[in-house]
Structure 1
Amino acid sequence: MKIGITGTGSYLPEIVTKNDDFLNHRFLGRDGSEFEHPNATIIEKFQAITGIAERRYAKPELKTSDLGFLAAEKAIEDAGIDKEELDYIIFAHNFGDVTHGKIQGDTLPSLATRVKHLLKIKNTSCVAYDMLFGCPGWIEGVIQAKAFIRSGMAKKCLVIGGETLSRVIDPHDRDSMIYSDGAGACILEGDSSSGEILTHASQTHANGEAYYLYFDRTYDQEGCEDTRYIKMDGRKIYEFACTHVPQAMADCLNKSDVSIDEVKKIFIHQANEKMDQAIIKRFYRLYGKETPTEVMPMIIQEMGNNSVATVPILFDRIRKGKVENHGVEKGDLVIFASVGAGMNINAIVYRY
């Protein structure tokens, strides 16, 4: 039985925050010390490394579940299915619903349940639950949905990835410029004529790597000691990703018995432009090849890193012709890949 993606949808928030908007921020070191370089220099170096020029923030009245609902509506419409036929709704996120101006994440009820409520689905056999797997959460949700369908427990699944990272960032941390908000979704069905998952692979590295991404207090020594923000060890994450992700992708591809020469696109987590370029370059070197041009579409420049939402947003926009010089055609072989908190890695080899 072929199991494939029959519809996609995404939602990019309307508030655009450009790099220049950070010129008046008070960035501090981990010990609370001031930087010797002005913000203009910090921002210039930041953009050179990450590729990010702007990012999207959600309007105050919208929460992560709202973004997921908006993306889900589009995916359901795109697939042309009756929402009452959904067997599972899987919502991948990391922080739940964080209300604008509040400091707590809310996961009671689950975000998947909230989306089901917003969709007004009456079918009680449609099971809704959340996935916590770091940035690779949406891909892992697709892998789980495939398992449900393969086992006969489901026919149609909705998988969502969404986040409002703008509400869990420390304004005094330079890394705050990386993060953004957004949501992407897909419908997965059995006996699909729209595509097929060929192979998948997942890993968790937690022997020393578990806390490369973590929660901690602000860098402002006079700030609230009890409020926690997303923090990361950027150098360790970069080295980890460049070391482990290429081999994980290769392991997944090798299981498919398909040649690397067939790969048309790699939809990789939009985390850091230079890091992603290094990962793909090392991936092709494992096969003794140079990286083909246009194999790795990037939209991080205008989207920023919205964690679990990056891959489904990227895939949706390319499917619908919204990314210049990139597209997919029926029969193309593509790879989905991600890395993030855990430290988790996963990949899917997909025949479009």
Structure 2
Amino acid sequence: MANEELVERLGRSSDWMFQRSGIRFRHIVAPGTTSGDLAVAAGREALARSAVGDVAAVVVATTSPDRPCPGTAPSVASRLGLAGVAALDVQAVCAGFVYGLGVAQGLIAAGTADSVLVIGADALSLSVAPDDPTSMLFGDGAGAVVLRSGHCEEPGALGPCVLGSDGAGRDLITVRGGGSEERSQAHGALADPYLRLEGQEVFWRAVEHMTAASRAALDARRWKPQDVDRIVAHQANARILAMLAKRLGVTADRALANIEQVGNTSAASIPILLDHANRAGDLKPGHRVLLTAFGGGLTWGATTVVWPHLSHPH
């Protein structure tokens, strides 16, 4: 869906949308398609391209689950033919994929699972108010990776995951309706069912927390910012990405981006960008890669990886 298709609905020009966000296009699910459907498609492709085979656990990072109850992950695992495996959802909004990596890393380190399928999937076009200008930011999508146990010095091994939160900022990115908070107000008015975003405040919080988490993740790996070959950050806003690179002292060309083509896909943005960059040859074996994200909660996180050799898909 191009910006031009939103002009009449939002009362904003396509150029205004691009200047504010860096987005020209986003992909929107067809009627009847859910986040779970996207997660299954991404998970199936990741499993097909992995040398691991069947995995022992499935982690789905999503803030747009198919149902409030049960979680989306068990259904995704079942549809992928992974009967009986551990399966759980992670709800950290746009930081969900990095949180999911941390959960998977913990499962592997604890010996609970020797391999984990981590999926980021969101269909936030179904959660935004049609006339809200911030709805221009969001697209739908999913991406997935397979992690396995191995040696910490192997290419592909994750460095320590740095995770954080600040619940005092929960109203900055929120859906007020649909939870027990609303239901506990027996005689109150129905809460707003749409995703709401305080853009200006979120901008500066995102820059601040992603910068701090990134520095901590680099320190934990004993890397300096100039050692980083590629930054793969949550694709929230092109201006946030530019400011993050500047704060870290990394040249802008090292910060990968696909926000212009896909918009903000929430928990799916990092794995989608990893796949796009791998297909385009922008990620090469041996590249030192920093992953970082910020989302509602407020939540944030960062980790590192030395990019392994991965076959390019046909």
* TM-score, length basis structure 1: 0.80
Rounded Cα–Cα distance in structure 2 between residues aligned with 1:342 and 1:310: 17
Greater radius of gyration (CA): 1
Are residue 215 (structure 1) and residue 170 (structure 2) matched?
A: no
What are structure 2's unaligned runs of at least 5 residues? Answer: 178-188, 308-314
What are structure 1's unaligned runs of at least 5 residues? Answer: 1-16, 28-37, 98-105, 218-223, 285-290
- CA drift at 1:293: 4.4
Amino acid at match of 2:77: K
Q: 2:7 aligns with which of 18, 23, 47?
A: 23
Amino acid at match of 1:235: Q
Task: Give the corresponding residue for 2:180.
Answer: none
Rounded Cα–Cα distance in structure 1 between residues aligned with 2:175 and 2:41: 28
CA contact (8 A) 1:199 1:253 kept: no
In terms of fraction of residues, the more helix-rich structure is 2
Q: 1:150 aligns with which of 93, 106, 109?
A: 109
Are residue 93 (structure 1) and residue 62 (structure 2) matched?
A: yes
Equivalent pairs, count: 294
Rounded Cα–Cα distance in structure 2 between residues aligned with 1:81 and 1:250: 32
Amino acid at match of 2:78: H
Alignment of 1:156-167 (within 5 A): 156-167=115-126
Rounded Cα–Cα distance in structure 2 between residues aligned with 1:197 and 1:216: 35
SS of equivalent to 2:73: helix
Task: Give the corresponding residue for 1:328.
Answer: 283
- CA drift at 1:259: 2.6
Q: Which moved more, 1:228-237 or 1:142-151?
A: 142-151
Task: Give the corresponding residue for 1:206.
Answer: 167
Q: Per the alignment, do residues 260 and 23 of structure 1 end up closer, same or farther by CA in structure 2, a change over 3 Å counting?
A: closer
Rounded Cα–Cα distance in structure 1 between residues aligned with 2:304 and 2:69: 34
SS of equivalent to 2:30: coil
SS of equivalent to 1:24: helix
Alignment of 1:1-352 (within 5 A): 17-25=1-9, 27=10, 39-40=12-13, 43-83=14-54, 86-97=55-66, 106-122=67-83, 124=84, 126-191=85-150, 193-207=154-168, 209-215=169-175, 228-284=193-249, 291-321=250-280, 327-352=282-307
- CA drift at 1:216: 5.0
Amino acid at match of 1:73: R
Task: Give the corresponding residue for 1:100.
Answer: none
Task: Give the corresponding residue for 1:288.
Answer: none
Provide Cα deviations, 1:222-273, integer angstroms capped at 9, x if missing partner. xx96551000100100111222321221111112112322211010000000
Rounded Cα–Cα distance in structure 2 between residues aligned with 1:244 and 1:137: 15
Q: Percent identity?
A: 23
In terms of fraction of residues, the more strand-rich structure is 1
